[in-house]
C-alpha cells in the first residue's frame, strides 16, 4: 500500500499535468480526514515497536533474506499495479470525447 501511494505521488508530481490554479489553499475535509485516519494507526504502531515482537513468539522481529525479498517483491508489485492504472487512466483522459467529434467533425483534435 505504501509503494502504491509513493508511486502515485511520484507520477503526479513528475509525470502528471500540474493544476495551474493560483490558490491551493485549504484542502477539503475528505482529504484531510483520510490522512488522519492513516496517521493515527501509524503513530500507535510506531510507539509499540518493542512490544509487537512479544505478540507472536517472544523473539524480536529481525529481518531475514526471506522477509527482505518478500517485502521488496510486494512493494514492486504495488508500484507496477499503480503505474499500470495511471497509464490506463491517462490514456483514457487523452482520448477525444465522442461529443466533440459529433459536434465538429471537421475540427482538428486537441
Q: Is residue 33 part of a domain?
A: yes
Q: Quick one: angle between helices 49-56 and 29-47, nearest 10?
A: 70
Res 22: pLDDT: 57
Per-residue pLDDT tens digits for 14-31: 776 655 555 566 777 887
Task: Give the separation between CA 94 and CA 8, rounded to whole angstroms.
Answer: 18
In total, how many domains does the chain have?
Answer: 1
Q: Is residue 110 part of a domain?
A: no
Res 77: pLDDT: 92
**CB neighbours (10 Å) of residue 88?**
10
The answer to whether 42 and 51 are in contact (CB under 8 A) is no
Return the closest-CA partner of residue 12 out of 82, 105, 66, 76: 82
**CB neighbours (10 Å) of residue 30?**
7
Per-residue pLDDT tens digits for 48-94: 776 666 666 656 567 788 888 888 998 899 889 988 988 888 777 76
Range of the domain at 8: 2-103
Amino acid at each position: 500500500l505504501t509503494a502504491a501511494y509513493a508511486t502515485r505521488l511520484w507520477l503526479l508530481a513528475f509525470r502528471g499535468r500540474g493544476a495551474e490554479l493560483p490558490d491551493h489553499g485549504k484542502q477539503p475535509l475528505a482529504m484531510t480526514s483520510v490522512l488522519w485516519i492513516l496517521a493515527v494507526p501509524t503513530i500507535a504502531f510506531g510507539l509499540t515497536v518493542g512490544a509487537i515482537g512479544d505478540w507472536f513468539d517472544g523473539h524480536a522481529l529481525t529481518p531475514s533474506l526471506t522477509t527482505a525479498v518478500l517485502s521488496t517483491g510486494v512493494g514492486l508489485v504495488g508500484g507496477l499495479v499503480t503505474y499500470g492504472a495511471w497509464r490506463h487512466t491517462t490514456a483514457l483522459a487523452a482520448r477525444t470525447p465522442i461529443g466533440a467529434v459529433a459536434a465538429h467533425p471537421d475540427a482538428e483534435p486537441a
